[in-house]
Amino acid sequence: MRVNFILPSLGATPIGGFKVVYEYANGLVKTGNIVNVIHPMTMNNFDSLYKRAKAFRWYMIYKINKSYRPDNWFKLDPRVNVVLVPNLEERYIPNADFLFATAWDTAEKSNVYSFKKGKKYYLIQNYEIWNAGKNRVLKTFRLSFKKIVISRWLEKLVNSQGEDAYYIPNGFDSNAFEIDIKPEGRNKYTLMMLYHSLSLKGSYLGLRAIKKLKQIIPDLKLILFGAYLPPKKLPDWISFHEKPDQLVLRKLYNEAAIFISPSFLEGFPLPPAEAMLSGSTLIASNIGGHREYAIHNKTAILYPPKDIHGLVNSIHSLIDHNNFRINLAYEGHAFIKQFTWEKSVKDLEIYLKNDL
């Protein structure tokens, strides 16, 4: 099979939705499929000759230095064709058997393609209302693509638009993330959280809650990581790690007793699950994406979204009840191991072959 995945931008910055696509690409080429992962230099088709020339100049720079690739944070199988195109005009897209839109804007662009570019599928990974209005995103859910969703709550959302969706959850690599330091051997005061500038990620609320708790528990420490610059003037008890590679990230997860995910909207977030796989106990907001693997008091602690007091109390309670934290860490670790990329890729491959 020849498969096109169309991403909305370049791949140099770590992005969860991109990682999912790269994992599928790696898995599909292992079974002999031809996979093109297409990155546009820009989503715009500029009318201005000056802007077009400027965009083409940057396109040539990136094409030469290869900085559009994810090589600094993700290891792609060399058999995956990582393609840079000036924009998403149809003439730049290779012919294929299947074509995957992977975001609302790539669905809009590829909707006009001929079927030479592949039968049209839409890998829906989130409800992307932060960079488009609700109506515009929902309209893409109604386009004539076959829809694949990564979580049950997204399946319900697509169904609410009168459309069918096929559910394939994300997977995880237990060779990449595993327990190196047992939960009982960790400093119970060490917390970890992803920092993101997007307000829907709730990082600002997480920081407020942790700083509030620090006044009660002076021994508290926080590990922050992310692809974006952190807030200025972080206190010395908060460390920040910018774009850590997989080995560093595994080490950090293994230092953390508790991982906090305060997002207000997620499709099926990867970092909280990677932390669980590495033996951290998860505290997460009670939203659809987290509930794919976070079961309250069984695999994780859930608290009401945007409830800073609920988050403070949840962290405090886990620190006070250390044996419960340890047991929860092991239960979460065992539960998350059922999600593997081998299963997800096999499911996708079977689904596509039935459509040949």
The secondary structure element, H or E, covering residue 193 is strand 190-194
Per-residue tokens: 271? 């970092």
pLDDT at 18 (0 to 100) = 98
| Structural contact between residues 239 and 210, judged by C-beta atoms closer than 8 angstroms | no
| Structural contact between residues 162 and 275, judged by C-beta atoms closer than 8 angstroms | no
Q: Does the predicted model carry a pTM greater than 0.85?
A: yes
The DSSP secondary structure of 280-328, one letter per residue, reads: PEEEEES-TTGGGT--BTTTBEEE-TT-HHHHHHHHHHHHH-HHHHHHH
Closest CA to 209 of 294, 282, 297, 316: 316
Write the pLDDT tens digit of every residue in 215-240. 999 999 999 999 988 888 899 999 99
pLDDT at 55 (0 to 100) = 79
Write the pLDDT tens digit of every residue in 275-307. 999 999 999 999 999 999 999 999 999 999 999
For residues 287 and 88, give the distance between their C-alpha atoms in angstroms, rounded to a whole number: 33
The DSSP secondary structure of 241-291, one letter per residue, reads: EES--HHHHHHHHHH-SEEEE--S--SS-HHHHHHHHTTPEEEEES-TTGG
pLDDT at 47 (0 to 100) = 66
The Cβ of residue 133 has, within 10 Å, a number of other Cβ atoms equal to 9
The Cβ of residue 227 has, within 10 Å, a number of other Cβ atoms equal to 16
Query: If you count them, how many residues does the chain have?
Result: 356
Contacts with 260 (C-beta within 8 Å, 6 or more apart), sequence order: 191, 192, 193, 206, 209, 210, 283, 284, 311, 315
Sign, CA torsion 9/15/17/20 = positive
| Structural contact between residues 257 and 188, judged by C-beta atoms closer than 8 angstroms | yes
For residues 165 and 150, give the distance between their C-alpha atoms in angstroms, rounded to a whole number: 10
Domains of the chain (ranges; CATH) run 2-171+340-353 (3.40.50.11090), 183-336 (3.40.50.2000)
pLDDT at 46 (0 to 100) = 65
| Structural contact between residues 125 and 17, judged by C-beta atoms closer than 8 angstroms | yes
Q: Please, how many CA atoms are within 13 Å of residue 290, restricted to the half-sphere of its CB?
A: 27
Q: What is the mean pLDDT of each run of 10 residues along the chain (356 residues)?
A: 97 96 98 97 75 82 93 96 96 98 98 97 97 95 98 98 98 95 98 96 97 97 94 93 95 98 98 98 98 98 98 98 98 97 98 94
